[in-house]
């Protein structure tokens, strides 16, 4: 396989020698595939020989129509960001957490997990090879997407005979089209559930994401950024949003749904719980009734892609509850957004050891 030279973060010339690509307007980054990074990492797993792979140019994967993942969906993924820090370093945030979550997902879907050392090496080498696609400090990040796929062929239902582990990356900005600090409008979904007890809602499986599209697209057409799901058993308690976890604030107390197998164990969720406690909030991982959310002072969402996003309004059964001033992020969401991003961008100390230099 081609081993690209490690891209430097400065210098001149075209993108292949590491200079920042001239055709990217760093002030107008969205969350999409417009600025796909040129190198990806790909390893394959065959029983007997284990994992083997390395960096290669970004490009198509060749799969048989009978590949397990295309027929039965053996697929888990991760989302991670590399950023340029205020100290001039390139850093990633808690990659060990993503490695562990992918291993847990692999077990749930009967796939061989990429060992944490391989996961880390793949992520860091993808980062280094694509360093010229990491936006200038404060303008965005290099979003990395590790995938674990059952790519071997099979016809009857069973696990794939072989697997691929891929990490590709793209330069990105804010996830929601309205921008990072503009509050989002959410609507409570009343027809479908995202996950059920005993299912795989707690796994970052590809299969958890397309079933939400039917309601998410309808919500978007009505002007909402996304939907909030309720629990499948009682239709009473908040679960999560299609793309992120959810938190509800009342006074000094912050509540977020517990990890009971139906919601995604978000790395940002876990980090924000710790940061909020450090800031003096009382944080409870507990069931939150939708009626309680409708009477909250604030709601915000967390995720790698969304970071911390204030919720401007929540609509439930035709009733719309507004939070804070229109267009302005609410206080707790803003405090936590600032605390998290200061840490992620090395503007603040990292007492937890969450920041990993590339
Ligand atoms: C992330 O936040 O990284 C995710 O994987 C969520 C996805 C819907 C963008």
Select from 101, 140, 271, 305 the residue to mutate for testing ligand 1; criterion: most ligand atoms less than 8 Å from CB.
Answer: 305
pLDDT tens for 51-61 read: 999 999 999 99
Among protein residues, the one with the nearest Cα to ligand 1's atom 5 is: 79
Catalytic (active-site) positions? 204
pLDDT band at 17 (very low <50, low <70, confident <90, very high): low
For residue 78, which atom of ligand 1 is closest to its CA? 5
For residue 304, which atom of ligand 1 is closest to its CA? 2
CA of 167 to the centre of ligand 1 (A): 14
pLDDT at 8 over 50: no
Tell me the average pLDDT across 221-234. Answer: 97
* pLDDT at residue number 141: 97
- The mean pLDDT of the chain is 94
pLDDT at 262 over 90: yes
* pLDDT at residue number 23: 86
pLDDT tens for 127-175 read: 999 999 999 999 999 999 999 999 999 999 999 999 999 999 999 999 9
Written in H, E and C, the secondary structure of the chain is CCCCCCCCCCCCCCHHHCCCCCCCCHHHCCCCCCCECCEEEEEEEECCCEEEEEEEECCCCCCCCCEHHHHCCCEEECCEEEEECCCCCEEEECHHHHHHHHHHHHHHCCCCCCCHHHHHHHHHHHHHHCHHHCCCCCCCEEEEEEEEECCCECCCCCCCCCEEEEEEEEEECCCCCCCCCCCEEEEECCCCCCCCCCCCCCCCEHHHCHHHHHHHHHHHHCCCCEEEEECCCCCCEEEEECCEEEEEEECCEEEECCCCCCCCCCHHHHHHHHHHHHCCCEEEECCCEHHHHCCCCEEEEEECCCEEEEEEEEEECCEEEECCCCCCCCHHHHHHHHHHHHHHCCCCCCCCCCEEEC
ipTM computed for the complex: 0.97
CA of 175 to the centre of ligand 1 (A): 9
pLDDT at 9 over 50: no
pLDDT band at 10 (very low <50, low <70, confident <90, very high): very low
């Amino acid at each position: 396989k081609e081993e690209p030279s490690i891209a430097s973060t400065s210098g001149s010339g075209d993108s292949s020698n590491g200079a920042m690509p001239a055709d990217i307007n760093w002030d107008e980054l969205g969350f999409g595939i417009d600025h796909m990074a040129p190198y990806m990492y790909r390893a394959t797993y065959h029983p007997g020989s284990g994992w083997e792979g390395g960096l290669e140019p970004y490009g198509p994967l060749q799969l048989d129509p009978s590949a397990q993942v295309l027929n039965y969906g053996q697929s888990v993924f991760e989302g991670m960001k590399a950023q340029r820090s205020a100290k001039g370093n390139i850093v990633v945030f808690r990659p060990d957490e993503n490695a562990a979550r992918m291993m847990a997902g692999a077990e749930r879907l009967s796939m061989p997990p990429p060992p944490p050392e391989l996961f880390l090496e793949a992520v860091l080498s993808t980062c280094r090879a694509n360093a010229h696609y990491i936006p200038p400090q404060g303008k965005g990040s290099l979003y990395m997407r590790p995938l674990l796929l059952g790519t071997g062929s099979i016809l009857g239902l069973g696990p794939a005979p072989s697997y691929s582990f891929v990490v590709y990356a793209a330069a990105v900005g804010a996830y929601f089209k309205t921008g990072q600090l503009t509050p989002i409008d959410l609507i409570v979904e009343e027809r479908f559930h995202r996950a059920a007890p005993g299912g795989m809602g707690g796994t970052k499986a590809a299969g958890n994401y397309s079933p939400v599209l039917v309601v998410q697209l309808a919500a978007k057409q009505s002007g909402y950024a996304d939907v909030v799901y309720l629990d499948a058993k009682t239709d009473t308690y908040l679960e999560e949003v299609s793309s992120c976890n959810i938190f509800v604030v009342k006074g000094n107390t912050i509540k977020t749904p517990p990890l009971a197998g139906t919601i995604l164990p978000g790395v940002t969720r876990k980090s924000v719980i710790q940061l909020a406690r450090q800031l003096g909030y009382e944080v409870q991982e507990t069931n939150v009734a939708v009626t309680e959310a409708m009477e909250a002072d604030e709601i915000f969402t967390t995720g790698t892609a969304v970071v911390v996003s204030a919720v401007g309004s929540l609509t439930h059964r035709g009733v719309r509850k507004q939070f804070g001033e229109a267009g302005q992020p609410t206080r707790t969401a803003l405090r936590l957004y600032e605390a998290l991003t200061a840490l992620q961008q090395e503007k603040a100390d990292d007492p937890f050891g969450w920041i990993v230099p590339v």
